[in-house]
Structure formats: C-alpha cells, structure tokens
Structure 1
Amino acid sequence: MLVKMFKEKIMVEVTFAIALLSFLLFSNVCRASTIGVNYGRVANNLPSPYDSIELLKNMKAGRVKIYDANPEILRLLSGTNLQVSIMVPNNQISIVAANQSAANQWVRDNVLPYYPNTMIRYILVGNEVLSNKDDQGLWYDLIPAMNNIRNSIDQHNIHNIKIGTPFAMDILETSFPPSSGEFRLDISRNNLLMPLLRFLNWTKSYFFLDAYPYFSWSQNTSSISLDYALFQGSQTYVDPVSGYVYTNLLDQMIDSVVFAMQKLGFNNIRVAIAETGWPNGGDYDEIGANIYNAATYNRNLIRRIVSKPPIGTPARPGLTIPTFIFSLYDENQKVGPGTERHWGMLHPNGRPMYDIDLTGQTLDSEFIDLPQPTNNGPFHGKLWCVVTNDTMNEMDLGQALEFACRRNGTCDDISPGKSCYQPVSIVSHANYAFSSYWAKYKEDGETCYFNGLAVQTNVDPSHGSCKFPYVGIVDTKFPSALAKPIQYLNAAKVACQTKATDVKSAFPQTQDKNIPYLCMDLVYQYTLLVDGFGLNPYKDITLMNKVQHKIYQIKAPWPLGCAIDLVSSTSNKIRVSSS
C-alpha cells in the first residue's frame, strides 16, 4: 500500500512538473535549442522514460545523449525533433571489436529498428575508455569497434550518423597554457592515438570531450578565479605562445585539445562537448558545489553555445560546438564523492533544480533569485561519516560494516569491552566503522559513500568515552604538495619555452627572485622524483612529513623548492586525519 501511494505521489509530482515546465517555457514555444542534455539513469528514484522525454521536450532541448541504446527510450524518441546520441557501453566494446558480424548484429538490434524516425545522429563507442588504465586491453579494441560500427552503418547507406568516443581531460599530459596541449605519452607513443585521430578525420566526426571547469577550478582555487570558471567577470588570460586571449576556463580546456591534435598533424577535427556542467551540491569539503554556481555556469554556457553567429573558441573562432549538458537529473546511485550524485538540472520528481532556459533567450534578471552560495570558500572543521538514517536494510548495512572492518585496526574500538562497543546496535557500530575507515583511508581516495548507506556530517557522533575518528581541514600557511610527478615535467615544458618577462603571467604565484631558475627547478624536481626515486610519474604523491599543529599531527611540505607551490593541487589547506 505504501509503495503504491509513493508511486502515485511521484506520478502526480512529475505530471505537475511537466505542466510547470510547459508554462515556464511558453514564451519560447516556437524556439528549439541546439543544446543537448545527458540523460543518465544511475538512480532508483527517477521518472519513467516517457515522463523524462516529455520533460526534455518541454525544456526545448535540441539533443539528448543516453549511455546505452535503451529500446524503450529510443521508441519514445521516435517522431520528436530531438537529435539522439546512443552508446556502445564499455562492456560491449570487445564483442563489437571482435568481428564485423558482431558489429552488424549490434546495429541491427540498436539502430535499424528505430532509425530514421528516431533521429540517431551519434553512436559513441564506450565512455572515457582511455582514462581506464586498469583495463588497457580495452584501449586496443576501441579502434576496431569504431571501424566495425562504421562499416555496418555504411552497409545500410546511413550517412548522417557520426561515430566517435568520449575522452576525459586526462587524455592530455599538458593542458596549460592551451598552446602547450599535448596528449599523454602512454597513448601517443603506442600506435593507438594516431589511428583514432585518422578515423575521426577521415569520417569527419568529432573529438568528443568531457570538459568540467568545476574540477580544474576546485583543485586550483588559488590560481583560477571562480568568475573565470563561470563565464563571468572581466578577467582574461593571454596565452604566452599563441597570443590568444581567453575569457573563460572552458575555452582554454577545449583549445588545449585543439593544439594537441594540431601537433600530431590534425588541424581540422572539430571538438564536440559530450559532457559539461557544474554540480548543484556535494560533500562539505567540495568547494563551490551549489545551486547558485550550477545555475550560473549552465545559463552562461547555453548563451555562449547558442549564440548566432557562433562564437567558437580563440583557436577555432566562429565554429559551432555541439554540446551536451550533464545532466538531466541528480543520480543517487553514482559512487564516489557527493558531487557525483548532484549534477542534475531537475530533481528526481521532475521539478527544476533552478530556472533554466535551454534556448538561451531568458535574461538573468528574469530568473527567480537564488540564495547566495555559502561554500565558495574552503570548509574548515571536523567531519565524520555516519549511516544516512536508521531505517536502512540491516543486511546491506551489515555487509558495509563487514567491509569497513576488514582493514587493520579500523574497528578495534567496537570490539567487546572497548570504549565504543556500547550501545550494541548495527547502526551505532556502522557509524563508528564508517568514520574510522574514512579517516584512515580518505587520502587513498576512499569516500564516505558505502553504497549509498553513508553521509558526511559535521555533528560529532562521539559519546561518553567513545571518541569517533574524523577527517578535518585546518588552516595552514604550508601547501599540501599533493601532485603527480608528471605535473613538474608539464610545467617545465611551459616554463622553459616562456620568455622570462612572461613567466609571471604564466605562473603568477612564482616569487620574482625564483623566475630565472624556474625552468631548471621544475626539471630538477621531475628528474629527482622519477629517475632518482623511481616514482610513477602519473600517480599522486604527497611530498610531506608529519609535524605537530596544536593537538593535531598534520603534514608539512618536504622542501623541494618553489615548484611544489606551482603544481600543488591545493595551496591553502591540508587534510588531517585524527587516526
């Protein structure tokens, strides 16, 4: 009965949301946007595909991208004006690559039943395949799979579907300044990247890029202004080599890829943005993830992309850039930090997260005012990881508790007779285990998630003599010096090719006295770390020793020179664990 009532409530809310969107967008009823939207479905609380397509139509989206070839969605898109991007999921790439027959079958199953009534315009093979270094065998299946899909499409005389694959920004070894853009050595030296670029060039397809200025800004807030990342303000950046003037961070990211392709001899492959957006929320320590910034970014992005004549980028002026905003909904089952679950323009019930006009016609003054953000600066304080609520499935919670307690010493204090054994309940013990595990292993990349069973809190769950471990962030004058050694080499390439008079512009945090030695210093750091100590150039390292700060043991930088400041991912905060 309760399930039925819940479903009926959701249906009523979604129906109302569709009507509301129709009303809000009535003034643009004759306008269709060229902006695309990513329709991800890693969630258990979303509207039906039918309602979702209705919402997309009422939002006046011009394109929609899905992460598979879902037959129900493709049928519902039939007869609409939405251009559609479908995907060969990563786990099907090797099958499609194995032989032409498998690719033909995939096209028969996922394209021919719907095309042309469903306006399929893109088939993306995999998603960020070259970012997965744990399955490099899949890298070499990518080109054969793309070729086989292309051959199958050609056999059916279909000529208006482009074949591509989305790349993350980590495909670049160097991205700043844009003119220094170069692809990673591990993919550019192994006969992998050139065939891929030749395919895109020959088929006149796009280099599909997942570009998120949020991540670049949030990891470099001391050197990149928020306004610059949000397409607002008057700040500009002049590339010291090309002389191009940049007014926003996204253009820099796109052009770094353009320059990387040009260095390999490909001057005409166009870039499409497969994903971009800004998180509307996140964990306490995820700076700048809020509704205000998300609305600002997406509204300004839309106006820029739909401008007529097209704006393009400094390196590619006047070109239209097909763009898909990420995403339609928040997705509550995505793993990782809190931002992973908070990119939606719509709530799961279909209501707008904030006013948005995909046609780009609405002025900011016409939108309803949003509350000012409170987390555009770094969080300072203590954080714990606890169970989301007390009504979770005990079997799932028990499995998560067992997982958290597997690693050495994580759960010692909830053993019988220890300080946190009481009260004896699965929720109480899970609260301690989650906090302890997260405090110990956060710097190794672990998050406070536990399959959706955990959430961060700034309320201390300690009780009596039971003191919960925590993660904290404290102010310090020392940089954190968390970086990949390859970043030193990348920075060196820029510094060594930049005139001394322009170094300050390219590296504003460099002290004047260090400018003459910057190139040598950066090369020295890389050589010492990689050749001297044998460190992996692509793995994050922390060049620090622990020192006492009041009652805490925190990490202070090992003095390797001013280069640490230049490549450090955070220059004004240090993460601290109480364990």
Structure 2
Amino acid sequence: MLSRFTSTMAMASSSPIVLLSFLFLAIAAAEPASGTAQHFLGVSYGRLGDDLPPPHRALELARSAGAAAVRFYDANATFLVPAASSGLGFVPGVPNELIASLAASQRAADAWVASTLLPFRRNRRLRYLFVGNEVLSDPTTKSRWSRLVPAMVNLHRALRRHGLGRVKVSTTLGMDALVGQNVFPPSAGVFRPDIIDVAVRPLLAFLERTHSYLFFDAYTYFTWSANHTIMPLTYALLEPSPAPGYQYHDHGTGLSYTNLLDHMLDAVIAAMCRAGYCGVKLALAETGWPNAGDLDQFGANVRNAATYNRNVARHLASGAGTPRRPGMRMPAFVFALFNENLKGGPGTERHWGLFYPNGSAVYDVDLAGSPPAASYPPLPPATNDLPYPGQLWCVARTDRQGAVANETAVREQVATACADEAALCDPVRPGGECHLPDTVAAHASYVFSAHWNRFSKQYGGWCYFGGLAVETTVDPSHGSCKFPSVIPN
C-alpha cells in the first residue's frame, strides 16, 4: 500500500490456530449476493524491506499471530512454495505491469497460470487470485483501466482450463475509487465518473457472474485523521465511546453506525448499488493502523494500532456484518506482516507491521479475534493523538558531526526539488540569504523545508526525499536565513 490517500504481530496459542483453520475451510453465513461467504482474517505480506526474515520464518510469525492466510503482491515461487506448505491460505497477485499483456492474449494468460499456479493445483488453500493492486488509483496509467477486466477474464478461463476453477479472480480498489473518497453519509457513496464505465461496471459484472468478491482497501486511520474534528478517535478504532456514546446516523437510509469501518464498507456498498450491482460480495484486501509515523501524522502509535487490529479481529469474527449488510462474513487481510523500511512517502508507510523485521512483535494480537481485550498485556500510552500544535521543519538527515551520509544522493534530491519550482531554491544560490554556510547539508535542509512548505498542501507532499530528510520541531533558521515551516492541521 502506498495509500493514495495511499499501505502484524504477536504470539497466539495453538487453539486459535486450530479455530482459524476451521474458519478458513468452513462455509459461513449467506450474504445478499449469490452463494455463500467464507470468513477469515489473514495478513498482507509486503516485502519492501532490506532487513526482512526468510520466508519460512515470516510464515511462522504469521501463524503465531493467528493469521488464517497470507496475501502476496506478486507470485514469486520463492514465497509461494513455502506458503503452500505452511498450512495457511495463500493469495498470489498479478503485478500491475502484466495486466496489458494478459488482457491482450489468452495464450499469455494460459502460460502465466501454467508456469505460476499449476504447481498448486491440488492445494485447496489457494482460493483467490488478485489481478493488480489499486489499478484504478493511478491516473498516470489510465491505459490499464480498460484492460483490467479483460485480463481477469483471460485468467479466469486459464484457471478453469488448468483445473483451478475453484480459484476466485478479483482485484483490489482503494477508497479513492469513490468520488472525493466521500463516505459522509455512507449512502452517498458513488464511484468516480472517470472509472465507472471504463472499468467498474465491467468489473462488477464479472464478479457477479463468477461469484467472486470486490476486494477493497479500507483504512479508518486516513478517514479519521482527515475528519478528526467531527468524529472521535474511538469511532475509528472500533472502541466504545464514552457515555452517552457516539453514533453516526445516515438520514439517507435511517441506519446508525457505531464504528467507522462499517461506515466505510457501507459507502462502498452504496456505490455498488448505484452502479447497478447491489448484490456483489464485498471483502477487505487491506485494513490496519500505523504503529508510528512522522511528527505531523497524529494518531499513529502502537497503542492505537494494537487497539484497532484487535477490535477488527473480534468484529469480523463475530459475523455481525454492517448495518447495511447484517450478518455479512468475508475474507479480510490486515496490513501488514512487517514494518517495511524501503517504502517511500510519509513515515506511516514504513510502520504498519505486526512485527519488526527482527521477528519481535510490535504488540500482541490474535487475528482469530477470540481473546477479550482484558487478556492482553498493557500497551504504551499514546502521546500523539492530537495534531502537533506548533511548526515543523524538514531538514537533511545528518550524523552527529552534521554530515550527510550520501552527498551524491542528497544533491540529486535537491536538484529534483529545485526543478519543481526554480525560485524556491534561490535563497541557497550565491548571494542568497541562505547560501552560507555553503555545505550540502545546510543547502539541502533549506530546500527540503521550502519544498515541503510549498507543496505539502497542494498534493500531500512529504518530508521524505528518498529517506534523506527528517522532520524537526527545532527551527533551523539563522541570521537573515528564514526557513519556511509547515503547521500541521
């Protein structure tokens, strides 16, 4: 995940694992859509880290956290083979860049299935195949939008030809598939006009015809942080609100909501109904909460991450469903198994894991959803549940001597930032008020702060710059050189 708006954990006893195995194989309660629905809670196995443990250890950790399945973002045999023998369900993925070729050729789809999935033909834990990841979120690759469903159709045929007809084909969408990501009220949910005819309606028709699910990425963290002044944190964490209790009432349907996840899922259901496919089954490809983040990313901490994922596990295991679809049971995946240090963007992107790369749990959780909240050990206090109240600056990451680790990389980031708006870098050029001290670190710090100030509100720019920058509360201004700052919302 890099949420366009855009993405875990501890030890479980053996009995939850047995229960999860049963849940993964069992047939759960019926939905309004055709057929029956299967419930399990798995974990997404992202691999954008240079310090992650080997696959067999990663799968052991997933099992220890009570995960029933692991979801991959590709179909690398190095990871699928051990997953297939781990006792976990496993969900491979087709990378976005393969969609065009698989859409253009049935032969290519047949070859991909034969070379990638045929070895697992007799493994009943292979139940889903995701074609692409948030394909409709990327406006720079619009050419893929119309090819998504043809690729899915070709792969569906190929799976049937190779004796894998039980494998349900789907894809994943982000909340930005809805106009303005609007979920207020849930009944107002509607798909974006630029994707509805070219991709969404054909997708929903395919899923309805094949009795598959629409898999959505739903992160209450992002929706809450963008609307924290109008809803309490407890609503986003699926926690009971202090008396008299917070509920959101949807006047369009007359339904009331006690948590934001149900609220968001019902907005997707409303959008499907508006598109003419009210009966398509819905599932969660990603959900979760960041365990850390940048200074301006309030609410991202271990306490909230543990609280959210524990509550989600219990909520999904209960089979309560949502106000619009009571009793709805579905496959779902928590994001993610590990903190991934090579992900770009804001700090939260590198802090969704249930585990640190060394294998230690970020916090205790049982994805089976069986333990009561009181059975877990105490969590550290949350210290950043409110927006940072002051100014922030973005400076070059330096060592204790004030030197950057890689001058070449820092210069490249500075050049890229200056190319976005040349005048932004005038103060560090000869004669400018910030030219001195004439060092790579000093110049980069000014440029990073100025760029963050200029573009953070325009397109959600971050203080990252290839991992070479860091936020600070200390004003780096000196003399007549005044560093631009950012004031978090």
User: Normalising by the residue count of structure 1, what TM-score does the alignment of the two structures yield?
Assistant: 0.74
Q: 1:236 aligns with which of 247, 272, 278?
A: 247
Does residue 337 (structure 1) correspond to residue 337 (structure 2)? The answer is: no
Q: Return the alpha-carbon distance in structure 2 between the equivalents of residues 180 and 419 of structure 1.
A: 51
Q: 2:13 aligns with which of 20, 25, 28?
A: 25
How far did 1:28 drift?
A: 4.2
SS at 1:32 equivalent:
helix
Do the aligned partners of 1:74 and 1:118 also contact (CA within 8 Å) in 2? Answer: no
Name which of structure 1's ranges 144-153 and 108-117 shifts more when overlaid on structure 2: 108-117
Does residue 195 (structure 1) correspond to residue 202 (structure 2)? The answer is: yes
SS at 2:43 equivalent:
strand
Q: Return the alpha-carbon distance in structure 2 between the equivalents of residues 164 and 383 of structure 1.
A: 42
Letter of the aligned partner of 1:295 in structure 2? A
Which residue does the alignment assign to 1:485?
Answer: none
Which residue does the alignment assign to 2:83?
Answer: 77
Q: What does the per-residue CA deviation read over 1:7-45, in whole Å, with 9 as the maximum and x for residues that have no partner?
A: xxxxxxxxxx99xx55x6356464436311011112222
Q: Return the alpha-carbon distance in structure 2 between the equivalents of residues 413 and 273 of structure 1.
A: 48
Does residue 347 (structure 1) correspond to residue 360 (structure 2)? The answer is: no
Q: 1:273 aligns with which of 273, 281, 284?
A: 284
Q: Relative contact order: is structure 1 or structure 2 higher (C-alpha 8 Å, sep ≥ 6)? A: 2
SS at 2:424 equivalent:
coil
Does residue 283 (structure 1) correspond to residue 294 (structure 2)? The answer is: yes
Mapping of 1:99-498 within 5 angstroms?
99-117=105-123, 119-173=125-179, 175-188=183-196, 190-233=197-240, 234-307=245-318, 310-390=319-399, 392-406=405-419, 407-445=421-459, 446-473=461-488
Letter of the aligned partner of 2:43 in structure 1? V
Do the aligned partners of 2:121 and 2:163 also contact (CA within 8 Å) in 1? Answer: no
How far did 1:266 drift?
A: 2.3
5+ residue gaps, structure 2, are: 1-7, 22-39
Do the aligned partners of 2:128 and 2:168 also contact (CA within 8 Å) in 1? Answer: yes
Do the aligned partners of 1:84 and 1:118 also contact (CA within 8 Å) in 2? Answer: no
Do the aligned partners of 1:282 and 1:339 also contact (CA within 8 Å) in 2? Answer: yes
SS at 1:405 equivalent:
helix
Q: Return the alpha-carbon distance in structure 1 between the equivalents of residues 14 and 198 of structure 2.
A: 52
Question: Which stretches of structure 1, 4 residues or more, deviate above 6 A after TM superposition?
Answer: none
Q: CA 1:75–1:118 in structure 2 vs 1: closer, same or farther (change >3 Å)?
A: farther
How far did 1:194 drift?
A: 2.2
Q: Return the alpha-carbon distance in structure 2 between the equivalents of residues 44 and 386 of structure 1.
A: 24
SS at 1:455 equivalent:
strand
SS at 2:382 equivalent:
coil
How far did 1:199 drift?
A: 0.5
Do the aligned partners of 1:401 and 1:430 also contact (CA within 8 Å) in 2? Answer: yes
Q: Return the alpha-carbon distance in structure 1 between the equivalents of residues 484 and 46 of structure 2.
A: 35
Q: What does the per-residue CA deviation read over 1:208-256, in whole Å, with 9 as the maximum and x for residues that have no partner?
A: 0111111111111122221111111232223213222221111111112
Q: Return the alpha-carbon distance in structure 2 between the equivalents of residues 248 and 224 of structure 1.
A: 10
Letter of the aligned partner of 2:483 in structure 1? F
How far did 1:423 drift?
A: 3.0
Name which of structure 1's ranges 110-119 and 242-251 shifts more when overlaid on structure 2: 110-119
Q: Return the alpha-carbon distance in structure 2 between the equivalents of residues 28 and 167 of structure 1.
A: 30
Q: Return the alpha-carbon distance in structure 1 between the equivalents of residues 184 and 433 of structure 2.
A: 51
Q: Return the alpha-carbon distance in structure 2 between the equivalents of residues 207 and 92 of structure 1.
A: 20
Which residue does the alignment assign to 2:4?
Answer: none
How far did 1:465 drift?
A: 4.0
Q: What does the per-residue CA deviation read over 1:404-423, in whole Å, with 9 as the maximum and x for residues that have no partner?
A: 23332222222234443333
Q: What does the per-residue CA deviation read over 1:172-191, in whole Å, with 9 as the maximum and x for residues that have no partner?
A: 23533222322222223x35
Of structures 1 and 2, the larger Rg is shown by 1
Does residue 37 (structure 1) correspond to residue 43 (structure 2)? The answer is: yes
Q: Return the alpha-carbon distance in structure 2 between the equivalents of residues 113 and 343 of structure 1.
A: 32
Q: Return the alpha-carbon distance in structure 2 between the equivalents of residues 191 and 448 of structure 1.
A: 35
CA RMSD of aligned residues (A): 2.1
Q: CA 1:240–1:70 in structure 2 vs 1: closer, same or farther (change >3 Å)?
A: same
Do the aligned partners of 2:156 and 2:165 also contact (CA within 8 Å) in 1? Answer: no
Q: Return the alpha-carbon distance in structure 2 between the equivalents of residues 461 and 26 of structure 1.
A: 53
Letter of the aligned partner of 1:239 in structure 2? D
SS at 1:35 equivalent:
strand
Q: Return the alpha-carbon distance in structure 1 between the equivalents of residues 219 and 17 of structure 2.
A: 30
Q: Return the alpha-carbon distance in structure 2 between the equivalents of residues 57 and 96 of structure 1.
A: 33
Do the aligned partners of 1:74 and 1:114 also contact (CA within 8 Å) in 2? Answer: no
Q: How many residues align?
A: 452
Q: What does the per-residue CA deviation read over 1:345-389, in whole Å, with 9 as the maximum and x for residues that have no partner?
A: 111212111111112222222222122212211212111111223
Do the aligned partners of 1:333 and 1:451 also contact (CA within 8 Å) in 2? Answer: no
Q: Return the alpha-carbon distance in structure 2 between the equivalents of residues 397 and 181 of structure 1.
A: 43
SS at 2:120 equivalent:
coil
Q: 1:95 aligns with which of 90, 96, 101?
A: 101
Q: What does the per-residue CA deviation read over 1:106-162, in whole Å, with 9 as the maximum and x for residues that have no partner?
A: 112211133334832111111111122222211110011000000000111222211
Q: What does the per-residue CA deviation read over 1:525-577, in whole Å, with 9 as the maximum and x for residues that have no partner?
A: xxxxxxxxxxxxxxxxxxxxxxxxxxxxxxxxxxxxxxxxxxxxxxxx5xxxx
Do the aligned partners of 2:17 and 2:63 also contact (CA within 8 Å) in 1? Answer: no
Do the aligned partners of 2:393 and 2:485 also contact (CA within 8 Å) in 1? Answer: yes
Q: Return the alpha-carbon distance in structure 1 between the equivalents of residues 397 and 14 of structure 2.
A: 40
5+ residue gaps, structure 1, are: 1-16, 474-572, 574-579
How far did 1:91 drift?
A: 0.8
